[in-house]
Structure 1
Amino acid sequence: MRKINKAGDTEPLSSGCVTYLASLPLPTETAGCCPYIGELNDTYMDFGLGLPKAFSWQYTFGLPLNAFILFTVLLPLACGLIGLMIGYSASEAWAFIVGVRNELFSLSLGVSLFALALSLLIWFYVHNKYEEIIPTRFNRQRREVCFMPEDYEAPVFVPWESLSAWVIEAQGARPHGVQRQYGMGFGFFYDDRVVSMEFACPALPIAISNWEAIRAYMEYEVHTLKEITDPLDLQGPDDPPHEGMHTFRNARARLHQQIRDKQRGWVYGFFWYLYHVMTFWTLPFWLCEWEVGRVKRMARKALPDAMREWSEPLPKTQWAKPSPELLRLSAKVKALHKRNPRRSITGIFAEVYGTEDTERQQA
């Protein structure tokens, strides 16, 4: 399968379709945001595991705690309320609550501790990947991408404008309804095989946004990690470019200001505090900060010499330039999007290439 797909092309799947965003990386006119970006500077950007997030720690500790509270507090109370509704006296309902709670306490504690241990084992496995993985590196001065496939001894360098990128939409039947799944990927042909990276996304716009973050960096439209990893703008100008205690403090200060300005109500504020109390308050943010520091101190896998030399900055006079075709088609995409902002970007891609084909035939 050597077909080179253009932006806007689609391919059917048994349960969905693949829509291509590149080769020839045209602007998607969305806000780029991607959690998988690690290091970023004026020369290159690393794509892979990204930096640790506080949410992963909130999930690790919050899920077992909330499950324990659900089965030892909320479920017994619900049982007591049902007892009152069917005619129990207050003392009988209370006895029922205590009985249900005593029956579920040991089981809930064991399940919660098991879930916590399993979550920590998963974290340990993922955390150790930082030592093993050589990230995919995007060099915007050379306009090339460096891949280091696991079964290759030497890195593979690919021209940026020849890289294919796609988003995946799929759906399948489940006992409780239809489940939709989305993903984003990019890759290329090399030695008669496809070398690619794919990962799941919660929604199609987020999948497109992940690609846009990469494209915007390569086209000099973004220059800092904050621009593509901090969509809520929780990092101050003097804060480090990762999540931590500073993002929690900034989020709380913004909440208080919004309540004072009548932009948020007390109900929103109550649930904001409740969520963070149920996820161990500032502990996840402190652990995120600790993990970021630990990742930076890790003995990473050594980069191949060719990749290290390729990553060195170039004099500005030697920087590669975008192709005339990319500049021309990008201008057409932006003009069409400005004319009809609600139209799907993949439909705009298809129209741009359609008019190009028509003009070529008439020439």
Structure 2
Amino acid sequence: MTLETPKADIANAPRAGKVESFPSGRLTFLAPLPLPTGLPPTDHGRAVGTINDRYLDFGMGLPPVFGWQVTLGMPFFGFLSIAFVFPLIAFLLFYWLGNGFPDAIHAFWGVINIGFWIGLGAGVFFFLLSLGIWYHQHLKYKTVMPTRFNRQRREVCFVPKGHREPIFVPWEELVAWVTEAQGVTEYGVQRQYGFGVGFLHPQTGEKYTLEFQTYGLLQAISNWEAIRAYMEYEVHTLKEIQDPLELQGSDDPPWEGVHVFRNARARLHQRRRAGEVGWFHTLGWYLYHLMTFWTIPNRLVEWEVKKIQKMNRRALPEAMQRWSEPLPESERAKPSEELKRQSKRVLDLQKAEPQRPVTEIFVQVGDELAGESSMTA
């Protein structure tokens, strides 16, 4: 059983701050009219693949090292738990509850003889399963067309699955939302968070949506903020939104290769000498990376990036290529007066009440605008 959430009802033209509840959670809209959220612009899911002075590609970013750490570390951790931790637990139980040391030794070797092979089989099975999932995701680099955000034109380009020609949507009319959901599955109570964007086809009125899972609500909003900040010329490089811990040097490549591991280790010892972290934190860092095979995940990221760079990817439609060409500065689109006015009001309220939820501020600004419009009418 999987936990599913309903799609956002973008046909009703929601405004920023609007909340739609459903039985297991809620949807909170952040756009149309992309207002500043006040959160750091961070691409936690590393879904952004390319950034330059013209456009940002969202949907298929560079592979993260965490994925390889899970692929290698989880099967290994499971093997160690079944093969050695369970026998140790059996030893302690029979030592305390049985006839002492002889029963404990007998129980230890009895469990380890069975647990070793069960653990080995389970570890190999989940390792192969993880590799299958990785391969399925890796093949998407050939076929998936990223969503492209062009800040010079202030437009977004979509190529939905099954379509050959791109669809261009005005940036300020794009709908964006975050999802919070909770449900009971066969694995227990689970919480899910997501970030999505969508639009109505300008000619057919058909609804299109694009959604991604995130680790939490704030991470989902930060993913949107990374895109919004880029479109409003507040961030300009991949490093600004994908390296919040500043583990990549100015000359380092943008992926999480061995250089990131070495920089993280150097940072750890620097913080240890400064008294910012203790021995427990340092020991935990080393244990985690030993359990995830030290620098092997970082080297696998470097290997995968090279494969992606050599991959024969799906060609961009000609119309999308022309649309992506640079514009003279005099022809570049500007933000609307309404967006500038509402953004300023949001920033003022955030400064006055920094602990107030940004969605409440969005609602207040929208209500103020509605009140001003009715008074003018």
TM-score by length of 1: 0.97
Task: Tell me which residue corresponds to 1:59.
Answer: 70
Task: Tell me which residue corresponds to 2:21.
Answer: 12
Question: Which has the higher mean CA deviation after the structures are superposed, 6-15 or 126-135?
Answer: 6-15
Task: Tell me which residue corresponds to 1:108.
Answer: 119
Q: Over aligned residues, Cα RMSD in angstroms?
A: 1.3
- Aligned to 1:128, which of 133, 139, 153? 139
- Aligned to 1:76, which of 68, 74, 87? 87
Name stretches of at least 5 consecutive residues in structure 2 with no aligned partner.
1-8
Task: Tell me which residue corresponds to 2:308.
Answer: 295
1:181 has 2:192 as partner: yes
Identical pairs, percent: 51
Secondary structure of the residue that 2:250 maps to in structure 1?
coil
Change (3 A) 1:176 1:304: closer
Secondary structure of the residue that 1:29 maps to in structure 2?
coil
Task: Tell me which residue corresponds to 1:160.
Answer: 171
Q: CA deviation at 1:362?
A: 2.1
Q: CA deviation at 1:175?
A: 6.7
Task: Tell me which residue corresponds to 2:5.
Answer: none
Task: Tell me which residue corresponds to 1:221.
Answer: 234
Task: Give the distance between the partners of 2:280 and 2:230, measured in 1 at CA.
Answer: 39
- Aligned to 1:46, which of 44, 54, 57? 57
Q: CA deviation at 1:176?
A: 7.6
- Aligned to 1:172, which of 171, 175, 183? 183
Task: Give the distance between the partners of 1:163 and 1:67, measured in 2 at CA.
Answer: 44
Task: Tell me which residue corresponds to 2:6.
Answer: none
Q: CA deviation at 1:102?
A: 0.3
* Structure 1 counterpart of 2:147, one-letter code: T
Task: Give the distance between the partners of 1:175 and 1:340, measured in 2 at CA.
Answer: 42
Task: Give the distance between the partners of 2:106 and 2:20, measured in 1 at CA.
Answer: 62
Q: What aligned pairs does 1:211-360 form with structure 2 within 5 A after superposition? A: 211-360=224-373
Deviation above 6 Å: which 4+ runs of structure 1?
none
Task: Tell me which residue corresponds to 2:99.
Answer: 88
Question: Which has the higher mean CA deviation after the structures are superposed, 80-89 or 140-149?
Answer: 80-89
Secondary structure of the residue that 1:168 maps to in structure 2?
strand
Q: CA deviation at 1:177?
A: 6.0
Task: Tell me which residue corresponds to 2:34.
Answer: 25
Task: Give the distance between the partners of 1:177 and 1:245, measured in 2 at CA.
Answer: 37
Alpha-carbon displacement from aligned partner over 1:94-131 (angstroms, at most 9, x marks no partner): 22111100011112111111111111111111011101
Kindly tell me the number of residue pairs found equivalent between the two proteins: 363
Q: CA deviation at 1:237?
A: 1.2
Q: CA deviation at 1:181?
A: 1.8
Q: CA deviation at 1:193?
A: 1.6
1:200 has 2:213 as partner: yes
Secondary structure of the residue that 2:340 maps to in structure 1?
helix
Q: CA deviation at 1:178?
A: 4.0
